[in-house]
């Protein structure tokens, strides 16, 4: 299968390219970042309709990894996020429709859920609203029941849970899914969105406003500095290794034949082993050899407290499962170079 991988020279995309090649497929790299590509792979912008159309020649499927990620520098980045993520996806899907390419795997994100799943002892499953700056400044980090104010118990989010994007990046990721669903209905194509959890591993970009927390911690350790853990470090996340995410993309692509039914299939893509941010910082620091993490109590508006999702649908329907364990992955990541080092 000949597969166009947008963002194929980036962090996740480069691992997808390797996983496809290892399975005997022919990946075609399409990437904007000129400083991340070789002379044989010139920088290409997914918003450039002519360039995308040329790249789709002879392609059987598209694995769409290209995106502007993270929280960035605040709302000042909103137009750029929408342009790269949503306009870029619309241009790509339009070109796919014209070229007759009917199979798409989209890099989705668990950020579309907003806060995770919570249960109140009295009111059952509830949906807390965004945390206030007053509560965060006072160190009250845990969401409370919107009906009675009681403490809540966090749980796993299923794909059918209501979506509630809490920042610009999350909003653009949800819009990408809506565009993919509209494309599938219009063309009769098959679209899959893999809602990634907190992906980490080799080639992760070093500390920028767009990098994940694992990258910030790893970069701090490389400088001989202590990882700075926000809030109280008890935020629950699912840290999934990039090679496992790449394998999920290949599984979704290989499941394509016979699924050109005009629908969007959504799969949570996580390790299935929730850990706190503090635990991740500790595991990474131990593997690197210190310094020890420091819990700062700092916070960012727009961050969610707990978000861990149920990935059993992906395991059941596509036969995928995470292979890299948490301790093993953190040990490897501690010694792996970051992009830009």
The CATH number assigned to the domain holding 108 equals 3.40.50.720
Instruction: Please indicate whether residue 210 is annotated as part of the active site.
Output: no
In a domain, 319, yes or no: yes
Range of the domain at 42: 2-117+155-335
In a domain, 110, yes or no: yes
Return d(Cα 295, Cα 230) in angstroms, integer: 6
pLDDT of residue 330: 97
Structure tokens at 69: 């990620």
If one counts every other C-beta atom within 10 angstroms of the C-beta of residue 196, the result is: 25
In a domain, 290, yes or no: yes
| Pairing status of strand 2-6 against strand 61-64 | parallel
Structure tokens at 265: 């299939």
List average pLDDT for each run of 10 residues in the chain, which is 341 residues long.
96 97 97 58 82 96 93 81 97 98 96 94 94 95 96 96 91 97 95 96 83 90 96 97 98 73 90 96 97 96 90 96 97 90 60
In a domain, 242, yes or no: yes
In a domain, 143, yes or no: no
Find residue 27's DSSP bridge partners: 3
In a domain, 44, yes or no: yes
Question: DSSP class of residue 205?
Answer: B
pLDDT of residue 32: 80
In a domain, 145, yes or no: no
Catalytic option among 169, 196, 200, 267: 169
pTM of model > 0.85 = yes
Among the listed residues 226, 234, 341, 338, the one whose alpha carbon sits nearest the alpha carbon of residue 279 = 234
Which pLDDT tens digit goes with each residue over 183-236? 999 999 999 999 999 999 999 988 776 678 999 999 999 999 999 999 999 999
Task: Calculate ∠ Cα 268-122-112, nearest 5°.
Answer: 25
pLDDT of residue 37: 45
| Pair 104, 192: CB distance under 8 Å | yes
Return d(Cα 216, Cα 300) in angstroms, integer: 15
| Pair 299, 130: CB distance under 8 Å | no
Find residue 269's DSSP bridge partners: 196
Contacts of 102 (CB under 8 A, 6+ apart): 96, 187, 188, 189, 190, 260
Q: Which helix (H) or strand (E) holds 195?
A: strand 190-196
Q: State the DSSP string of 289-321.
A: T-PPPEE-----TT--S--EE--HHHHHHH---
In a domain, 168, yes or no: yes
pLDDT of residue 341: 60
pLDDT of residue 34: 47
pLDDT of residue 207: 75
Which pLDDT tens digit goes with each residue over 135-178? 999 999 999 999 999 999 999 999 999 999 988 999 999 999 99
Count how many domains the chain has: 1
């Amino acid at each position: 299968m000949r597969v166009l991988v947008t963002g194929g020279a980036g962090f996740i995309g480069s691992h997808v390219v390797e996983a496809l090649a290892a399975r005997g497929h022919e990946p075609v790299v399409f990437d904007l970042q000129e400083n991340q590509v070789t002379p044989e792979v010139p920088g290409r912008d997914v918003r450039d309709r002519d360039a995308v159309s040329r790249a789709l020649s002879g392609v059987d499927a598209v694995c769409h990894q290209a995106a502007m990620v993270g929280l960035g520098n605040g709302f000042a980045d909103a137009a750029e996020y929408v342009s790269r993520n949503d306009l870029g996806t619309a241009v790509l899907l339009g070109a796919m429709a014209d070229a007759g390419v009917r199979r798409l795997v989209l890099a989705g994100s668990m950020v579309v859920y907003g806060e995770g799943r919570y249960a109140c002892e009295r009111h059952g499953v509830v949906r807390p609203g965004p945390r206030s700056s007053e509560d965060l400044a006072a160190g009250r980090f845990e969401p409370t029941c919107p009906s009675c104010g009681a403490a809540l118990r966090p749980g796993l989010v299923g794909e059918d849970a209501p979506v509630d994007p809490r920042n610009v990046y999350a909003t653009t990721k949800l819009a990408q899914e809506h565009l993919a669903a509209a494309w599938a209905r219009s063309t009769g194509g098959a679209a899959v969105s893999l809602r990634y959890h907190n992906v980490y591993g080799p080639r992760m970009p070093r500390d920028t406003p767009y990098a994940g927390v694992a990258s910030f911690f790893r970069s701090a350790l490389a400088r001989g500095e202590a990882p700075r853990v926000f809030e109280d470090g008890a935020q629950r996340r699912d840290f999934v290794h990039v090679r496992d995410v790449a394998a999920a993309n290949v599984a979704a692509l290989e499941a394509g034949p016979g699924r050109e039914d005009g629908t969007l299939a959504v799969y949570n893509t996580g390790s299935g082993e929730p850990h706190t941010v503090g635990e991740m910082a500790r595991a990474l620091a131990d593997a690197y050899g210190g310094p020890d993490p420091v819990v700062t109590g700092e916070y960012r508006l727009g961050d969610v407290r707990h978000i861990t999702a149920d990935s059993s649908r992906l395991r059941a329907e596509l036969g995928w499962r995470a292979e890299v364990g948490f301790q093993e992955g953190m040990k490897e990541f501690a010694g792996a170079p970051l992009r830009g080092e």
